[in-house]
Structure 1
Amino acid sequence: MVQHRVRNFILSFACLLLLALFATEGAMAQIDAGGVAGTVKDASGAVVGGTTIVLKNDLTGVSSSVTSTSAGTYIFTGVNPGTYTATATHEGFEARVVHGIEVHVQQTDAIDILLATGNVQQQVTVTAASPLLQTEDAAIGQTIGHQTINNLPLETRNWGSLGQLAAGVATAPIGQNGGTPENAFYSVNGVQLYQNDFRLDGINNNIEFFGGSSVGTDATVTPPPDAIQEFKMQTGDYSAEFGHSTGGVINAVVRSGTNQLHGNLWEYVRNTAFNANDYFSNQQGKPRAEYHQNQFGGTVGGPVLIPKLYNGKDKTFFFFDYQGTRIVTPAQATSTVPTANMVNSGFTNLQDLISFNSGTSTDGLGRVFAHGTVLDPATTRQVQPGQIDTISGMRNTTGSAIYVRDPFYAGGSVAGITNFTGLASQLNQIPVSRLDPNAVKLLKLYPLPTKAGAFANNYLNNPKSTETVNQYDLRIDETFGSKDTLFGVFDESYFNQFAPGALPGQNDQNDAFPSYAFATGYTHIFTPTLSNELHVGFGHSEKEQLLSNANVTGIPAQYGIQGIPQVAGNGGLSSFNISGLTGLGPTDDRPTIQTVWDLEVTDNVIKELGRHTIKTGVQVDDLQGNIMQPPAPRGLFTFNGQFTDIPNQNQSLNGISDMLLTPTASTVGGVNNVGGLQSFSGSNFAGTQYHRWYTGAYFQDDWRATSALTLNLGLRWDYFTPYSETNGRQANFVPVGGNGNTGTFYISQQGCGVPRSSTFDALLASSNINLDCVSSKTLGAAQKTNFSPRLGFAYRATRTLVVRGGFGISYGALGNLGYGGTLGTNYPFIYTITQNAPNSQSPILLSNGQAATIENTFSTINLSDPTQVNGAGVNLYGRQYNYQTPYVQTFNLTVQDQFTNHDSLQIAYVGTLGRHLDVLGNNNSPSEVLPVGTNISQIPSIANNNQSFIPFPHFAPNAIYETTNAGSEYNSMQTTFEHQTSFGLQLLANYTYSKCFSNQRTQGTATSAYRAQWLPGFGISGDFGLCDTDATNVAHVSGTYALPIGRDKAYLGSINRITDAFIGGWSANYIYTYQSGQPLTVSCATATTSDFGCFAPVNPGVSLYAGPHNPTQWLNPSAFAQPAAATQIGQTDYSVLGGSPQQARGPSWYNLDASIFKEFQIYHETRLQFRAESFNTLNNPQFGQPGNLNYLNPKNFASITTLRNTPRELQFALKLSF
């Protein structure tokens, strides 16, 4: 795997480098750069054309020049983030030098230059104030600079989490745990989190297919904070050069080297001793969890110098960083294993099943058995109504035929015994001759209990889980004269994790997540008004989750199990679900192997035409995602105890006895019953190779209409092809109208060559489903009219007041489906062969007439042969054939005032409207109300007066079907206060008041599914309610305060070095977050229909939060009503579906992370910094969403068992900078 990856990288690198070097034109992609613009005037205010302006990077010495137009305007585009000096010269005027110009990603600084009459040899020097007012465009967002990234406390050192410092950003509720401040799972302006777009050095940095989302909750690579120059969280109304997604854009740039050699070394340490205990662990008297983490690494950057060969000062620079992470945590697991008595007896003595069970059951003859009593399947017999059973002597008085069986009883005849509950010492003793020796060998794989005197949860395992991460980044920048520049960045990360199973040696996993990315940009300046840059890059990520013995073959055969494919990656034992015991063997869906890559080319041109800055360009992405995740590749056997319990009751969960008993040919009653397996499953060992293209093109005109007004006029076109399968191995089921009673099952012509079972094709035909082999591999049509206007203005009403507004449309890619339910998982490409015992009297019969056992099941089934699949019950997955691209309209009106040299306040109205949002719903579903208990899958039959309640009863109901007909709306007031650094103080604060509504219930963070997607007059519109990510109030405050005390500071600036070592160099940093509770849906406590969902109505006038309103009971159970159940098929009274979704909200939460730094000057620019960081500084538990939402069970209703944040954690670090 590594050799393959390295070979691919070398080939790709060579191709990209050649493309960059020999391109006749590049494209000035502004994605990863900023700009400087302004107007040159004389003392009278008249514009001065023909002025030469030179812009020089203070750290690298690289410079460029432009000439002001006849209107006096000038602009530098494609300027790398950093600090610059501008020098303006014109004959007859004194030279003007402006220092301290800060350039940021996706931001154009307005630097007007005032020339004074005089000799050009004379110069006037001024210092530019860091721009607080945004005067050039209407985009909304927040720039996070290098110092902020490095100083603010980051629990996971994931700088992407700082995107939450922008207004309009809310963390997402993910299950009960919820989003947390330290991750990058957030929603921007009400848009689903999977539509965020991560970009690094101008190139796509998203994991597009799997392991995250279609666009982004996960980045391909995440360099350490020390390697990031800055990033901008762009939240809306951005330039037309941005497409690809509908959410926020996290746009980052890796640092470059400078003319001086600089770097740093660091070590961060976290330990159990530094941490507080978890709230719930304290409640239960448990000690704090063990945790050990070390993060170490360094950076170095400077000019490329090769003694006596090459001096790269002012032209060639490098930057390199490395970070290693080591984490060790306990993976404690409690399991249920066979007792010592069972093991020591060779599993002939199962009396502990009775000893550690409670309750009784009564069979059809009136005999009473303690739960846990093992009944002999070889005694199964039928007793007719009124008949006296010849074995027990009991009469069947039930009025109908019954099945009975007798216990393993060592006391002789069972005749006349009506109550076996007091005979435990003579029960559950199984003759050795009746035991399956392979089952005994398998059960001996369980460890002995660690807890005596118990059966349930009697084994505690304390293994260690380890994480090892090694990552590095390398950037090279080259300047070829004054018109050509080239950069290249390579990023790589290896994340390896050992995840031990709950039982020793049973499901240990070695997980690997290697990823790498490459980006290069070549810039050419044709004239001072025409520039052009090419960006090429690719990203590659893998996810390999393998069993520790994945490549060890022959293990199933050691236990008599035949027919399991023995191929690389599929080693290990089969899986066993045994009721009453923890499962034996590995997790079903292993191996999981995912590979995602993206090759991107962007090409943009910028032309200055008077007051117009024209940008135009194209972007092309070639995306591929390969995945192998077979559900049960080694076979799954299930024993639920039904053959050793009272027939048709199954109360005792004696799965172990079903597994142990040797199958017999017949029973004393002549019934062909061998017991054993309740079900088995096995899947083919195959994968899918998805592929799609994304193409975008745009035109943008930034028109400085007057010195006070700038107009942003843009238009973008996006095209997202549907994903195809490289080898044509996918199918698309498209019912008429989405859920009609006819449809088409599309397969590509290449895929049509894969064999199918005759029953499947016959059932398609009898169900009015047309089988269509088509030439298209995408099996659908994508929308090609995705035109996105981007309109905005920025008006400088006064010197300190700016009014901005904008409107834009953004199209987004298809949301991530995960793997299950995608078109490539349709039969006959991915399938699982499953068979269940028809009842507790009849065994599973294989095609050869034999009863199924663990030994013979897969010896008679070829898992690689799709023709062995019974077509009945197959899932038919689908996607809307004419796919409409989801899009979001964004609009804002913003007022910003700079009321001091360092302070600004911004107030904005921001809204979004989502249209054609993707819906991960179902097909083959009922379209009418059905009373509880109705069999929706019954086959229509005139003889039995059966009718069909789903369109295709021969196939699985409620199969995944994706449409694009959901919508959303979001309205907000967003305020931002920013204090730029003065006297050591820097502060950023924002507050968002918002409301979000949507009926997109099955993507991203959805907490409830659709109730009745295809019910006329209801559908998904009936589930329109608050967004899952809705948070009415969100506030973020962050900042840094460097005490102005010590040498060269405002106070005590002349103290000696010894004194300075104690009182100088102190600083403090913090991030505070508050977010009000997010919505949750309380479903009806009991079903009111068959198949449809139900949301509990809220009783009028009853408070949702009355009562304890604490983690024990967050909601008031009396506030919810139980609707009446449906009584008629097809009734039009929809009140049985309950009330609106999202009736209540979970807890609000707040969190404070803080740090204190002490810096020691070692020698000149060499400094040592000590850091003490705390996460959840106040150690306040912030509770997750409540669970146990059955309001008819008030005792545990709406209890909260998880936290959104961790208990207080301390981290200490040393950082050496030089």
Structure 2
Amino acid sequence: VETRSGEVSSLVSEKQVTELPLNGRNYAQLVLMVPGVSPTNNDFRTRGTGLDSFVGASVNGNGSNQNLWTVDGVNNMDVGSNHTLLVYPSIDSIQEFRVERNSFSAEFGQAQGAVINLITKGGTNQLHGTGFEFLRNDVLNASDFFLNSAGQPKAALRYNNFGFNFNGPIKKNRAFFFWSEEWRRERRGLVRSARVPTAAEKLGDFSGFLTDPLPHDPATCRPDPVDPTATICDPFPGNRIPANRLSPVGLVLLRVYSDPNNPGDPRGQNWIAAPKAPIDTRQDLIRGNVNITNKADLMIRWINEDWVRGTQLGGDSGFPTVDSDWAQLSKSLAVQLTSSLSSSAVNAFQFSRSGNDISITTDPAGKAINDELATKFSTVFPHPQGSPFPTLFAADGYASLLHGAPWSNKEDLFIWKDDFSHVVGAHDFRVGGLFSHNIKNEDTIFGFLLYRFCGTSTRTGNAIADTLLKDLPLGCYFESDHQEKVLARWHDLEFYGNDTWKVQPRVTLTLGLRWSRYGQPYSANDRITNFIPRLYDGADPSSALVQAGTRGFNRALAKNYDKGFQPRVGLAWDIFGDGKTALRAGAGRYLSRTRIGSMLGLGNNPPWTQTVDAGWGGSSSSLDDSPNFRSLDTINPGLKNALATTTSFNAISEDFRPPESWQWNLTISREVMKNTVVEVSYIGNHALHIERPLEWNEVVPSARLAVAQAIRANDPSATGLINAGRRLPGVASIAMTESTGDSSYHALQIWANRRFSDRLAFQAAYTWSHAITNVPLAAFNNGATDPFNYSLDHGDADLDRRQMFVANAVYVLPSIKKWGAVASQILGGWQLNGIVSLLGGTPIDVYSGANTAGLADSSRNIGQRPNLILGVPVYLHNAGDSLQYLNPAAFSLPEVGRFGSLGRGSIRGPGSKNFDFSVVKNWRMYDRYSLQFRAEMFNAFNHSNFNGIDAGLSLDNVARDENFGKPLNPNFGRITATRGPREIQFGLKFNF
């Protein structure tokens, strides 16, 4: 029982780390074992390593990217997103795993969520080692739910995870080493599904199209003689677009789609496949410990990890026709000198360096199509060879076509820190400081954002026909002249003091204060520009553009926050003085560093980057058929000049500041039996200044009704009304990043922990909680439905799970020694391990896809929500069609000029149930050798955990359309993905 501190923390022991069936042998999964940890979706990706793993988990209601992951105290995060890790130390190299969850002392900083630290093993005076191999094969696996439903073969899998470690003395009692090598060779079929056109439709032949909408010829459209407010159009002859009217670019672009292969779902996800993804990883870890003197110890630890994935991870359509290759090389160095200055004073100084180098390139198999498209598609600006094909953001539920390559990133974090502790009587004083110099050179945009256009179905009534028809104006178009690379630099400076004071033999008080200054990132070459709205002169948009270090602004173009004082207090009361029952409480203020990616957009402003924006939030809209628009095949020569007067900008608030959290807890702990402790806690926090990206230059409320009416009437005047009605007329989109979000969290948490004894160790965590916010906590790409009214988005957080239960156990069966040596070898040495996870569902936000409120409708805002029809069932999952989760009839188009009545976070997605088990046989050979065989099952009962639901209605918002008010997305409300099926793994480990 903890009787010295008011903090709430959880320890996972070495025994559990090495024995539990961790899927992919990834240590990040261990964070899910403790209370209050909510993965952002039902697919917390910890099966892989490198960029194939995703550690977006909310701890006690804080943002999923507000945790600090460290290895031996070294920052282990890609700080661009704060969602991926740099290195994944081998499971057999881990000594300890600890999660500081709430009210931790002033020693810890840079996290408003949790501090998650891993300690690596060191060497000893005896030579020890381990060799291992783990194997998987699809022959042993269950079939994926969707592949099985579509009659497709099981996804391929060949998986080998092998390696070794040695540790021992270099010089007895003086110097020691630990060396680990681990490799992964994975060839896995990754299930992908989408709505795609047929082979005939990709050539303009819709004669076999069995369901509406059939395409019509926009050249034949005319007023309906019966109803002059409506329009009637004729179909193409034979429902085929004539060959001479087909777009050459459109024909090539649609070849990126794979052909349908799922006839059972002709209007939904009619393509499903599991193309094989090759993933290779090598990790080297070496650690040395030297007792320089009796009072000074030196530790040096180096990790190098090389991860390569020969297929897309994100930013691609998912079709094998054009794919990306991803690679990451990561490193982590720690040098620590610990000095005993006296019997009661210790000083620890540490230098660390960590970072990564990421690159995304076009897979050779897709190079031909990509290059052909790049050749045929005319661009406003010249682009180098190898640039991606034009991105199609598709309509009507079809998969968008995009290609992420090329892209690159390089991160280096240099940190110097010192911690001094001194025990004086009843006081344990600790003081310390930290300074860091940090580098991140990153492309500001992925390849698919270089030039992109909106797919529509408004001209022909069919999204594929719109793409194929030659010389048809694009719905919208955006192009950037190049991919700017921002050379981000920043410095952190922190100091702390902490006193753990034993006020009485049974009462301990902790008082601490930490001060943090997280310097705003700047660019080493000063190629960033911020748009400052208050400087706009009303005529020239460039009047509000400020370059780094000019006009009285600093190089970061945002103020540094110097008031980072963080008081901490904790109380622990050993109620009966026997160390078995404790009442503890704690509270404090906690700051964390915002992801560095929030400032990258400043490199995309003039004069460093030139753009053309036609309808993407700039000078035109999807309703405008003016000659300023281009088609897929041709460009209006005056396009660039015509749009130069209304450029879009990126901005960061001048007062942008670090997010913070005020935390508190009240905990009672009791040792209920030997080596078994149960904790019951009330946990709370209130977070402020959460990052909020949004469209700042939105249409003001007083001008929205006219815009909404023009949009519903399909009136081209909507474009002018939008631009005239913006907060700053004469300026187009302003993608602003603010720190204006807030959230709250309250929870009952129960934690039972039994240390390994009498052949058994177990942990069980139960959480009953509620997280509320007005900004997404699991993502950072949009932040407000209406930037004039944040209360519209006040509701259940996107990562809110009302109930969670997770348990794990390691149980060694009794020995059979009395039956003799042979029977003991056969029947003895058996061990059972398991992890059980039962999680409630997270909220689903349903979007109407219709601009009924009269906004500029920028993609940088949260989508508008529909009306919720009272009395109509929302959920259909148990009503016949097992894949139709949401009922389209439960939602309707809002009235013109209005937002929908559906509240944010008011609809819940499915929860998840997962059981991972392992059966282990240990053989002891002589005194120093042992052999272990492991049979492990992940998702042992093959439960289908659904985690993908299409929440976009795409309601028709044109009053004269025959489908007015109806959803145009046939996939709406349907389940589109699951977590993986059951997989079986065999492993063999040799220890000495």
TM-score range, shorter chain: 0.7 to 0.9
Q: Aligned-pair distance for 1:480?
A: 1.1
Q: Aligned-pair distance for 1:587?
A: 4.0
CA distance in 1, matches of 2:380, 2:105: 56
Equivalent position SS for 2:491: strand
Equivalent position SS for 1:163: helix
2:307 maps to 1:544 = no
CA distance in 1, matches of 2:773, 2:251: 55
Instruction: Pick from 575, 578, 591 the counterpart of residue 811 of structure 1.
Output: 591
2:782 maps to 1:1004 = no
Instruction: Pick from 136, 144, 152 the counterpart of residue 286 of structure 1.
Output: 152
Mapping 1:30-179, distance limit 5 Å: 133-173=1-41
Q: Aligned-pair distance for 1:464?
A: 3.0
Amino acid at match of 1:263: G
Segment drifting more, 676-685 vs 1204-1213: 676-685
2:87 maps to 1:221 = yes
Amino acid at match of 1:353: D
2:931 maps to 1:1079 = no
Aligned residue in 1 for 2:61: 190
Amino acid at match of 1:170: S
Instruction: Pick from 784, 788, 810 the counterpart of residue 566 of structure 2.
Output: 788
8 A Cα contact 1:1035 1:1073, kept in partner: yes
2:914 maps to 1:1151 = yes
Mapping 1:327-346, distance limit 5 Å: 327-330=186-189
Equivalent position SS for 2:418: strand
Aligned residue in 2 for 1:802: 582
Deviation string, structure 1 residues 55-87 (Cα, Å, up to 9, x no partner): xxxxxxxxxxxxxxxxxxxxxxxxxxxxxxxxx
Go from structure 1 to structure 2 and tell me whether the alpha carbon gap of 1:949 and 1:634 turns closer, same or farther (over 3 Å shift): closer
Equivalent position SS for 1:289: coil
Aligned residue in 1 for 2:727: 951
2:661 maps to 1:888 = yes
Aligned residue in 1 for 2:645: 872
CA distance in 2, matches of 1:314, 1:281: 58
2:155 maps to 1:299 = no
Aligned residue in 1 for 2:557: 779
Aligned residue in 1 for 2:800: 1030
CA distance in 2, matches of 1:1146, 1:444: 33
8 A Cα contact 1:715 1:789, kept in partner: yes
Q: Aligned-pair distance for 1:924?
A: 0.4
CA distance in 1, matches of 2:876, 2:367: 57
8 A Cα contact 2:155 2:190, kept in partner: no
Amino acid at match of 1:722: Q
Equivalent position SS for 1:194: coil
Segment drifting more, 465-474 vs 282-291: 282-291
Mapping 1:610-759, distance limit 5 Å: 610-630=425-445, 649=460, 653-654=464-465, 658=469, 681=479, 683-736=481-534, 743-744=535-536
Aligned residue in 2 for 1:928: 701
Amino acid at match of 2:489: H
8 A Cα contact 2:808 2:834, kept in partner: yes
CA distance in 2, matches of 1:535, 1:689: 26
Segment drifting more, 493-502 vs 786-795: 493-502
Equivalent position SS for 1:882: coil
CA distance in 2, matches of 1:841, 1:817: 34
Q: Aligned-pair distance for 1:440?
A: 11
CA distance in 1, matches of 2:977, 2:403: 29
Aligned residue in 1 for 2:606: 827
Q: Aligned-pair distance for 1:466?
A: 0.8
Equivalent position SS for 2:532: strand
Instruction: Pick from 1068, 1073, 1089 the counterpart of residue 832 of structure 2.
Output: 1068
Aligned residue in 1 for 2:814: 1044
2:653 maps to 1:918 = no
Equivalent position SS for 2:139: helix
Aligned residue in 2 for 1:961: 736
Identity %: 21
8 A Cα contact 1:1007 1:1081, kept in partner: no
CA distance in 2, matches of 1:1073, 1:1045: 30
Mapping 1:394-433, distance limit 5 Å: 421=237, 428=242, 430=244
Go from structure 1 to structure 2 and tell me whether the alpha carbon gap of 1:1162 and 1:910 turns closer, same or farther (over 3 Å shift): same
Instruction: Pick from 1131, 1137, 1160 the counterpart of residue 923 of structure 2.
Output: 1160
Amino acid at match of 1:802: A
Structure 1, unaligned runs of 5 or more = 1-132, 305-311, 343-349, 362-369, 386-394, 405-417, 660-672, 737-742, 746-759, 862-866, 1127-1133
CA distance in 1, matches of 2:649, 2:474: 31
CA distance in 1, matches of 2:673, 2:439: 51
Structure 2, unaligned runs of 5 or more = 49-53, 858-862, 956-964
Go from structure 1 to structure 2 and tell me whether the alpha carbon gap of 1:1101 and 1:884 turns closer, same or farther (over 3 Å shift): same
Go from structure 1 to structure 2 and tell me whether the alpha carbon gap of 1:423 and 1:459 turns closer, same or farther (over 3 Å shift): closer
Aligned residue in 2 for 1:115: none
Equivalent position SS for 1:919: strand
Go from structure 1 to structure 2 and tell me whether the alpha carbon gap of 1:228 and 1:269 turns closer, same or farther (over 3 Å shift): same
Go from structure 1 to structure 2 and tell me whether the alpha carbon gap of 1:517 and 1:674 turns closer, same or farther (over 3 Å shift): closer
Aligned residue in 1 for 2:959: none
Aligned residue in 1 for 2:766: 991
Equivalent position SS for 1:877: strand
2:942 maps to 1:1179 = yes
Deviation string, structure 1 residues 437-494 (Cα, Å, up to 9, x no partner): x879968988997989999999998753211111121101100121111011111111
8 A Cα contact 1:553 1:572, kept in partner: no
Aligned residue in 1 for 2:750: 975
8 A Cα contact 1:358 1:371, kept in partner: no
8 A Cα contact 1:683 1:831, kept in partner: yes
2:654 maps to 1:900 = no
Q: Aligned-pair distance for 1:999?
A: 1.5
CA distance in 2, matches of 1:447, 1:1027: 35
Amino acid at match of 1:793: L
CA distance in 1, matches of 2:208, 2:254: 20
TM-score by length of 2: 0.83
Go from structure 1 to structure 2 and tell me whether the alpha carbon gap of 1:577 and 1:1203 turns closer, same or farther (over 3 Å shift): closer
Deviation string, structure 1 residues 954-989 (Cα, Å, up to 9, x no partner): 3333x3212222222211222222223232111211
Go from structure 1 to structure 2 and tell me whether the alpha carbon gap of 1:572 and 1:273 turns closer, same or farther (over 3 Å shift): same
Amino acid at match of 1:1031: R
CA distance in 2, matches of 1:486, 1:875: 54
Segment drifting more, 974-983 vs 235-244: 974-983
2:339 maps to 1:471 = no
Q: Aligned-pair distance for 1:242?
A: 0.6
Equivalent position SS for 2:822: helix
Amino acid at match of 2:558: G
CA distance in 1, matches of 2:852, 2:129: 66
Q: Aligned-pair distance for 1:166?
A: 1.4
Q: Aligned-pair distance for 1:322?
A: 1.2
CA distance in 2, matches of 1:226, 1:358: 58
CA distance in 1, matches of 2:236, 2:250: 27
Deviation string, structure 1 residues 1120-1153 (Cα, Å, up to 9, x no partner): 6765443xxxxxxx7x552532223222322211
Amino acid at match of 2:729: P
Amino acid at match of 1:832: T
CA distance in 1, matches of 2:417, 2:675: 37
Q: Aligned-pair distance for 1:734?
A: 2.9
CA distance in 2, matches of 1:606, 1:496: 43
CA distance in 2, matches of 1:1033, 1:443: 46
Go from structure 1 to structure 2 and tell me whether the alpha carbon gap of 1:470 and 1:632 turns closer, same or farther (over 3 Å shift): closer
Equivalent position SS for 2:289: strand
Go from structure 1 to structure 2 and tell me whether the alpha carbon gap of 1:475 and 1:761 turns closer, same or farther (over 3 Å shift): farther
CA distance in 2, matches of 1:936, 1:448: 34
CA distance in 1, matches of 2:671, 2:761: 15
Amino acid at match of 2:806: H
TM-score by length of 1: 0.69
CA distance in 1, matches of 2:607, 2:391: 26
Amino acid at match of 1:916: H
